[in-house]
Structure 1
Amino acid sequence: MGKKRLDDAIQKMDFPVEVVYRCFELDPSTERDVPYNVYESLSKKYGMNIDQAQASCRNTERMARDVGLEYNFNSVILTNTFDAHRLTMFAKRYGLMKEMTERLLRAYFTHGKHIGDHATLVQLAEEIGMEGSAVREMLAGKEMSDAVYADEVQAQQYGIRSVPFFLINKKYSLTGAQPLETFVQALNQVMQQDGPFTNLGGQSGASCDDDGCEIPKK
């Protein structure tokens, strides 16, 4: 939702804003095939019962609808996202990082796709115009791993611990799915103080807290 509100805010600006996506894993230790669902995960992490976890996710789904997004937590498949991040970095080579990021987010939050599965990632990449054989070869090896790790090291240096996180001109930050008006105000204020933007990076990924799960989005 943070990403959607940022996109909407940019549409209101009368000056150009460049958005650069960065890689961030909330839990790098997560297995590719997770034997529990999102409700069980929230229950375990935050000490809530399943009914509370479901109610929290229903609330987040309503919030998503308010900004024009569709979340379906009943079908979300938890997984390790490292290979999905490698795919976004690979897509960047072809000028398709934004498209790949958005497709992965819809696949995960809306369509219930297993974005840790290589066959699924190849299919999603092909849907945005990438060559399936090249993606398959990349995923089979370690290519783009260093690029993902480099982003994660940079996030550590900035003290980033959760997402969504937005860094403007490498020195101003916004965290969480802020209201549209907050993004508009921040962009205008930074433009007045610094002049034309040199960088606005959004850490892409899912963030879950007591209020549910949010994406920048990622």
Structure 2
Amino acid sequence: MEEGDPLRIDIVSDVMCPWCYIGKRRLEKALAEVPDIAVSLRWMPFQLDETLPPEGKDRAQYLNEKFGGAERAEAAYEPVRAAGAAEDIPFAFDRIRKSPNTLDCHRLILWSRAENAQSEMAERLFQLYFVEGADLTDPETLIQAADDVGMMSDLVAELLPTDSDKDKVQRDLDNARAIGVSGVPCFIIDERFMVMGAEAPETLAAAIRHAHETRPGSDT
């Protein structure tokens, strides 16, 4: 790594994780606090529930199994709603009809790296799921999302029915757990420092500054 290279931040997340959406917003605020530090962002996969079938699961059934019913789920989501409101995220959990297996979403985010559009893709998928209540297991939803961020949606339409890059995503999933990522969001800064959870912007900004100042070869 050259001294002048951007500071790399790996964002380990899952698009069905509301705290990951909140964490994205807080990271954006953190980066605004350190405009003098050049960074490159790389989105990495994590699955909150890899046991979900490829076609997903009925949301009501999922909430009943996870929380013991809609009422308990609503109570669990109350702090999420509050945190989301503070970050201008209008969570609409009542619109969600299906809890998705997000493997194909992670393939799509991986493919968007070639277009330097990973953050835009993650944002669009978060928005589709948490605000619009879209079905993220529907190929047409993912193809349209690709088009929305300027990817070659016709190529995405060809690749989605295949096994293309499923092994790559699985290796990244396995690696995340191997290095100790047990929950998301997780921010890995300069491959040296790990910040777990949707921490406050000032906490993330401090971690980024520290990583920048302690880079090998840094004179600061």
TM-score bin (small chain): 0.7 to 0.9
Once the two structures are TM-superposed, the CA of residue 123 in structure 1 deviates from its matched residue by 1.1
Identity of aligned residues (%): 27
Q: Compute the RMSD of aligned alpha carbons.
A: 2.0
| Structure-1 residue corresponding to 2:200 | 179
Question: Does residue 75 of the first structure (1) align with residue 95 of the second (2)?
Answer: yes
- Could you tell me which runs of 5 or more consecutive residues in structure 2 were left unpaired when the two chains were aligned: 1-21
Which residue among 73, 79, 85 is the counterpart of 1:53?
Answer: 73
The one-letter code matched in structure 2 to 1:181 is E
| Structure-1 residue corresponding to 2:57 | 34
| Structure-1 residue corresponding to 2:122 | 101
The one-letter code matched in structure 1 to 2:82 is R
User: Take 1:49 and 1:33, find their aligned partners in 2: how far apart are those partners?
Assistant: 18
1:63-212 residue pairs with structure 2 within 5 A? 63-76=83-96, 77-194=98-215
| Structure-2 residue corresponding to 1:18 | 40
The two structures have a TM-score, normalised by structure 1, of: 0.81
The one-letter code matched in structure 2 to 1:35 is D
Deviations 1:180-207 (A, max 9, x none): 121122112222222699xxxxxxxxxx
Once the two structures are TM-superposed, the CA of residue 42 in structure 1 deviates from its matched residue by 4.5
Task: Note if contact 1:81-1:115 (Cα within 8 Å) is conserved in structure 2.
Answer: yes
Deviations 1:10-53 (A, max 9, x none): 1110211221110111211202231233xx5345335x553232
Segments ≥4 residues shifted beyond 6 Å: none
Aligned residues: 194
User: Take 1:152 and 1:146, find their aligned partners in 2: how far apart are those partners?
Assistant: 10
- Could you tell me which runs of 5 or more consecutive residues in structure 1 were left unpaired when the two chains were aligned: 198-218
User: Take 1:25 and 1:81, find their aligned partners in 2: how far apart are those partners?
Assistant: 7
